[in-house]
Amino acid sequence: MQHFGKISEEQKLDGLDEEESKRYMHHYNFPGFSVGEAKTSRGAGRREIGHGALAEKALIPVLPSKEDFPYAIRVVSEVLGSNGSTSQASVCGSSLALMDAGVPIKKPVAGISTGLFTNEDGKSTMVTDIQGLEDFFGEMDFKVAGTKDGITAIQVDIKNDGLSYEIIEEAFERTLKARKMIIDDIMNKAIANPREHVSEYAPKIEKVQISVDKIRDLIGTGGKNINKIIEETGVEIDIQETGLVLVYGQEQENMDKAISMIKILTKEFKVGEIVEGVVTNISKFGAFVDLGIREGLVHISKIVNRRINTVDEVLKVGDYVKAKIIEIDDQGKIALDMRNIEE
C-alpha cells in the first residue's frame, strides 16, 4: 500500500543536530497472527522498526530525485503470514508497489536471506531463502537487498564467533543469483517498468520557478496572497527556499488558475515595459493603477498630451488602462506614463 503527499508532508526527524527530514517512509507491520500468535497490537516494536528501516534503506538509492518527483512517499508493508525473511519480502513488495503507483524508480530492487549451519565435524553448509526453523537453529541470517547490478542494503545477524571471507563471498554470490532470479522470473512478470503516470487519485503537481526575492510577494502580508490563491482555487502550495513553487491539486483548471495568479504576483516588472491594469484610486496628483501585485502611479502630467486640471477629467475608478513603466525606485514603486501608448 502506498500513499503520495506534498513534499512538506515529509517526516521530520528530531535529533541533537539540525532538524532533518525524509520524503520516503516505509512502515512495516508484523501482527501476531502472521506467525499464529494471539496477542494485542501495542504499536511498532523493535522488529517492526528494524525491518522497516532495512527495507526503507534498500529502496532509497533507486528513488527519483525530489526535483524530478516532488512527492512525499509512504509505503506500508502488511505481513499476513511469515515463514522466512519478511523484511526482504517487503523489499520486493515495496519495489513492485512503487512501480505500480507510477514512481519512476531507476531499477527494481529485490531482497533475499541466506543462512549457515555447521555440523559436528565443523563443516559448514549455506542455504538460500531461509525459513523460520532454519533461522532459529542456524548460525547466520545474512540479508542482502539490491538490484541485479549492485547492493543497496545489508544486514547480518550471527550466533557464532565470526564469518570467514569465504563464507561472506559465497553469501554475496548466492544472494546475487537469487536477486536476479526473483527480479527476472517473478517481479518482472508482474510489472517490468514503472507506470507512465501516477494514480488518478494522487494529487497532480505543477512546478513554477520564481525569484527568491519574490517569495515575500507571493506569500503577502500575514499570508494574505498565498491564502487567497488557496481559497479561490482549492489547491495546495509548497514554496521551497530555492524559489521553486509546487502546486498540488486534482482539477487541472484550478491548478492553471493558481499558476496564473502566482505568475501575476511574482511578475518581474522592467522599465520600458507596457503594462495593463485597472484604476483603483484617484488623487489630486495622479491615478493609481492595479498591476496585479503592485500599484503603479500615473502622474497627472503623464495621463494625456495636454494640460488637465483634474485627473477625473480623463479617468475614473474602474477604468482599464495601458501604460509604460518609466521608473522603478529602490522601494519598488512604479511610475507610469499613459501618453503615446498605441492601442
We report the CATH number of the domain holding residue 218 as 3.30.1370.10
Spatial contact of 179 and 112, defined as CB atoms under 8 Å apart: yes
Burial of 296 (0-12, 13-18, 19+ CB in 10 A): buried
Same domain, yes or no: 300 and 323: yes
Same domain, yes or no: 100 and 174: yes
Which tens digits make up the pLDDT trace of 71-88? 889 999 988 887 778 889
**208: in domain:** yes
Same domain, yes or no: 114 and 29: yes
**304: in domain:** yes
The predicted structure's pLDDT at residue 133: 72
Q: Which domain holds residue 316?
A: 274-337
**309: in domain:** yes
Q: With both helix axes pointing from N to C terminus, report the angle between 252-265 and 224-233 in degrees, rounded to the nearest 10.
A: 160
Collapsed DSSP state (helix, strand, coil) of residue 119: coil
Closest CA to 151 of 88, 216, 224: 88
Which tens digits make up the pLDDT trace of 294-335? 789 999 999 999 999 999 999 999 999 999 999 988 777 899
Same domain, yes or no: 79 and 149: yes
Strands, DSSP E only, in 107-228? Answer: 110-118, 124-128, 140-146, 151-158, 204-209
Q: Which of 162, 190, 218 is the last residue of a domain?
A: 190
State how many domains the chain has: 3
Same domain, yes or no: 172 and 208: no
Q: Which of 265, 295, 310 is the last residue of a domain?
A: 265
**293: in domain:** yes
Same domain, yes or no: 167 and 261: no
For residue 343, pLDDT beyond 60:
no
Same domain, yes or no: 173 and 215: no
Closest CA to 326 of 317, 311, 339: 339
**266 or 144, which is more confident:** 144
Q: What's the rounded mean pLDDT across residues 260-279?
A: 88
**185 or 213, which is more confident:** 185
Least confident residue range of 102-106, 210-214, 256-260, 263-267:
263-267
**198: in domain:** no
Same domain, yes or no: 109 and 153: yes
Same domain, yes or no: 51 and 138: yes
Same domain, yes or no: 233 and 183: no
Check the CA dihedral 254-259-260-265 and report its sign: positive
Least confident residue range of 52-61, 129-138, 314-323:
129-138
We report the CATH number of the domain holding residue 49 as 3.30.230.70
- Which grid cell sits at 163? 564469518
- Residue-averaged pLDDT of the chain: 87
Same domain, yes or no: 259 and 281: no
The predicted structure's pLDDT at residue 331: 75
